[in-house]
Amino acid sequence: MKNLKVATAQFENSSGDKAYNLHIIETLVAKASVDGADVISFHECSLTGYSFARKLDREALYELSELIPDGPTVSALIELAKKYQITILAGLFEKDPLGKLFKAYVCVDPSGLIAKHRKLHPFINPALLPGDTYTVFDIKGWKCGILICYDNNIIENVRATALLGAQIIFMPHVTMCTPSPRPGAGFVDAELWKDKNKNAKRLRSEFDGDKGRNWLMKWLPSRAYDNGVFVVFSNPIGMDDDQLKNGCSMLINPFGEIMAECRSLENEFVVAEFKSEMIEKSGGQRYRKARKPSLYAKILGSDHVADQQVSWLKE
């Protein structure tokens, strides 16, 4: 299997402005293509914006949503893939022919739509329905999966996607810098972003502290390590509606090590080369082979009452 050059991006999206977001995406796609990337991944709802959707009624959310793949924004994304000969992953709100609404993330290449994942655990708007399936597909001979934001916090989702054959899991997010019961969590003051160059040192401290990256490092590398997979994490930088986000999009290898990470306060991307031999040598692959499902199949599959609480929605 040939090595795969993968890029992950961070950028400041504009709420509800698909044309603007597509323009920024094209700028980054063009640069990644010149740098030799085979694939580039953007954050959750990168085509539409995210946090502002909590304020929309169902009618407004329906108008923002699109059919996939025939909607104009996904069609435009496919044209970008053709123009720059690259595979692109990005997110938006979806409506189906029956009028049902979903949080979706798509993978397109020059041939068209390759994959679509519907978020299994949506919460930003009560009109959104959860997806009901895992998503595994091919990119240039590599088996890939998609899990959107909160999907990755439920560890069974990551293990299931890996067991279905995924060697790379794309994990688009809009996360960090929000209130939570955990110690140190909270919003980062949006006033700091108004002069981000002057406030760069304080922003970096806030972004990397317990409100942001420190929390991410408690769990994200373990998803890669425990499952023996590459992880592609994408997250916005700057203002997403009224919330300041810290970026730090990164690529993690099957040993749980960061291969490359966005570290500026600007729109940017990083690239790393994925090699299949890293998967073969990883501990996660050995651990998966040593599993004894007969011990815990009934425990893991037992019924329970789902309780998904998101603190910042109550603020």
| Whether residue 218 has pLDDT greater than 80 | yes
Task: Determine what percent of the chain is predicted with pLDDT higher than 70.
Answer: 99
Mean pLDDT of the chain: 96
Q: What is the domain-level CATH number for residue 27?
A: 3.60.110.10
| Whether residue 314 has pLDDT greater than 60 | no
| Whether residue 177 has pLDDT greater than 60 | yes
Residue in the structure block whose two tokens are 């290898």: 253
Which band of pLDDT confidence, cut at 50, 70 and 90, is reported for residue 311?
Answer: low
Q: Report the interhelical angle of 72-84 vs 18-34 (nearest 10°).
A: 20
Rounded mean pLDDT, 184-208: 98
Q: Which domain holds residue 180?
A: 4-314
For 30-68, the pLDDT digits (tens) are 999 999 999 999 999 999 999 999 999 999 999 999 999
pLDDT in the model for residue 312: 67
Q: Cα separation of 63 and 95, whole Å?
A: 9
Alpha-helical (H) ranges within 255-292 are 276-281, 283-289
pLDDT in the model for residue 256: 98
For 250-270, the pLDDT digits (tens) are 999 999 999 999 999 999 999
Which band of pLDDT confidence, cut at 50, 70 and 90, is reported for residue 307?
Answer: confident
Reported pTM: 0.97
pLDDT in the model for residue 214: 98
pLDDT in the model for residue 188: 98
- Domain total of the chain: 1
| Whether residue 274 has pLDDT greater than 90 | yes
Question: Using omega within 30 degrees of 0 as the cis cutoff, is the peptide bond preceding 69 cis?
Answer: yes
Q: Is 61 or 308 the better-scoring residue by pLDDT? A: 61
- In the three-class reduction of DSSP (H, G, I as helix; E, B as strand; rest coil), residue 230 is classed as strand
For 146-156, the pLDDT digits (tens) are 999 999 999 99
